[in-house]
Chains A and B, each alone.
Chain A
């Protein structure tokens, strides 16, 4: 069940909210039990066969945490933690990486091996990482102990179960106290506003871009030599699709949780406005990066053991990030590209400091934002392409390996624009992606409009900053802020209708992060 499907919006969400609101608050666990059951239904609706796996994972990790807690101060505590880690990683490895390993071995042996019939359980990467974080924290602080119901709700809570944010126990479980798990007008209002704005981003901004990205990357996957313009257009379309898809998803998750009076951490903070890759990763999928920083990068030594070791730690962390996103060489290359970019940024930072340069002029910052964006775009090529040869073909076209070419469908080579482009050295070639002339116009207009939104408009947490929408105290200020009043209510009501309507036209468009 997708957050953006009408079954979720019109049936599941109202029933889950009604149950939560109607259950008597004096019975302190009733609302938690209700939320656990609703979350299990939500997960099982996709594939009920994997509900036992999820329940086993929760029971196992809670038991391991209990053993660590009981054996605190003894070597057995460490053994329990290591066992917990290994079982979690083996489970994730079996479901997610077995076939990747088999196919890679086949390539090395130059003889394909038959792959196993394994269906990746939805959200396994998310609930495994969430719980790995928990057992490591219990090992670090063995006094840590929660009730099983609280722990179960922490893992199961449906707003984050499928695609994050990867919440931490100390961020969420304290909010399960009966006095906090209450019905509040502010929570409901802020939650609804967040949810609707997220839904709007997903259905009306992200999904229309998918068509162009899919068409162009589909042509590249079929072996077509993409014109230079198509390669950029397809990659920009995908960059905007995944931006609004994940931004929309994060807003919806935060909004849903808030309706049930739970605050989530910020997960997405206008990352394409970042002026360095480091800042990009402090703004994109923030909860994953916090996890990798705290449980991978810092334990590896972080920046405490000299520059070469720091570079290696960055590389390893982003290699793991790529591998976490998907079992494939394209994801590994994507992670390594970001790792390499960050190392270059690190060296550049040291170099400018050594030279004593003060680079604070706004033109330098604009150039940095553009350079970061272009670097991220090239990395997205590997993230989106189904295989490395396809990605290579797209990159070659983007860097002008086949010349500065445009499809004949982009614009008529004989009209004024066509002649001007020819004069600038562009060459028109036959269409390969099957995009009609009117679709090119639409795609270009959409890309420009969405880039304007990305770079010029505040994000959702900035818009609703006055209501403390997320756990973080500091939200970047913005000139434009919304007030939950009658005009906004009317506008959101109209938006609600349009997103419901749109949910009928999107037959199957899962959030991109559901794949991970």
Chain B
């Protein structure tokens, strides 16, 4: 018995029809704002960038993931240095490459970038698409910044489209026809909680929601693979090269993270040293030590990257003490550090 003549044609038609419907639905859901978390992040970014862009002259742009959003106070830095500082920290779910891409859009010659990227934004498999695939990243690219998505290589676009969940597509389509104005987000990431320096204002110890007032059990996120050729490392190199080209000074520091007994292991020391040498190799000073950025488990607000307000103030104070001498150093009085195209840490 043979297949009917129409079998192969209908198979191709079925495939094409399914593809066509999927492409149409995907296009329709782009930028529709079906994800409340993404909408909030977009508003936070817009608010922070608007404040920063309104400030004339030299600025200090504090850059990183949500460890910066929750863990540093740009207002305190402004007061201590006399230079307007802005906290540009956003959820690391958008990826390190995107975080630096946004900063690149607003940085001006003479600016100072204080870079505190999370450990895992450097690592292999995280912080860089397509090695790192996270549902939030896909939602953000499709709902939050579709223009950035459209500018990606076609293979990355295809990968994102294919990985988008049906739930997200459905919510996107619903939002397209009936816009959802809700800003309720269980993670407090709303633009209303951001002050004029971009700092988070609602994460005091007493504001910790009851569901999150659990004992910290440890999560050594700062341990991980260190391969400076993969992951987010090339993106950091590119960003530093761009900053230098534009006359923007970059100073790095360690990312805020809850202390953990696992960090006593030699592996963590090696990782910190590799990080320091990586930045030093690119002519970027690293302020202080990794332990400066630790906060006790009891001060975790909701995740190991997010300290409560009181711990963030203490951390910022320590950072200011390190930052002031670094700012006083006159770059022009010393030879310009060379940025190798493919720096080998430790070389």
- Give A contacts to B, CB under 8 Å: 185-186, 188-190, 192, 466-467, 483-498, 500-501, 504-505, 507
Contact = CB atoms under 8 A, between A and B. Distances in A.
Contacts of B158: 504
Contacts of B8: 185, 188-189, 489
A185 B10 contact: no
Interface string B246-270: 0000000000000000000000000
Given A486-B10, A501-B162, A504-B163, A494 B17 contact: yes
Interface in B263-281: none
A484 B18 contact: no
A486 B10 CA distance: 5
Interface in B179-211: none
Given A186-B2, A484-B4, A498-B18, A490 B162 contact: no
Contacts of B1: 186, 466-467
A489 B2 contact: no
Would you call the interface of chain A mostly helix, strand, loop, or mixed? helix
Contacts of A190: 3
A484 B22 CA distance: 25
A496 B7 contact: no
Contacts of B15: 493-494, 496-497
Contact of B14 (A185, A466, A494, A501): A494
Contacts of B106: none
12 contacts: A190-B3, A484-B2, A486-B4, A488-B10, A491-B14, A493-B10, A493-B11, A493-B13, A493-B18, A494-B18, A500-B162, A507-B133
A489 B159 contact: no
B134 to A, nearest CB: 12
Q: Most chain-A Cβ atoms within 10 A of its Cβ — which of B1, B2, B7, B19?
A: B7
Given A466-B1, A467-B1, A484 B7 contact: yes
B14 A492 contact: yes
Interface of B: 1-4, 6-19, 22, 133, 158-159, 162-163
A496 to B, nearest CB: 5
B71 to A, nearest CB: 27
Given A484-B7, A488-B10, 16 more contacts: A189-B3, A467-B1, A484-B4, A485-B10, A486-B10, A489-B11, A489-B14, A490-B13, A492-B11, A493-B15, A494-B15, A495-B14, A496-B14, A501-B162, A504-B163, A507-B133
A493 B14 contact: yes
Contacts of A192: 11
Contacts of B18: 493-494, 496-498
Contacts of A483: 4
A189 B7 contact: yes
When A and B form their complex, which 6 residue pairs have the shortest distance between CB atoms, in order from nearest?
A: A493-B14, A489-B10, A484-B3, A497-B18, A189-B3, A504-B162
Nearest to A504: B162
A488 B15 CA distance: 12
Contacts of B133: 507
A500 B163 CA distance: 11
A222 to B, nearest CB: 14
Contacts of A467: 1
Contacts of A501: 22, 162
A502 to B, nearest CB: 8
B185 to A, nearest CB: 19
Nearest to A501: B162
Contact of B11 (A186, A490, A505): A490
B93 to A, nearest CB: 18
Which of A185, A467, A484, A488 has the most B CB atoms < 10 Å from its CB?
Answer: A484
Interface centre among A185, A493, A497 (most CB of B within 10 A): A493
Nearest to A507: B133
Contact of B9 (A489, A491, A494, A496): A489
Given A466-B1, A501-B162, A507-B133, A493 B7 contact: no
Given A486-B10, A489-B9, A493-B13, A505 B162 contact: yes
B7 A489 contact: yes
Contacts of A493: 10-18
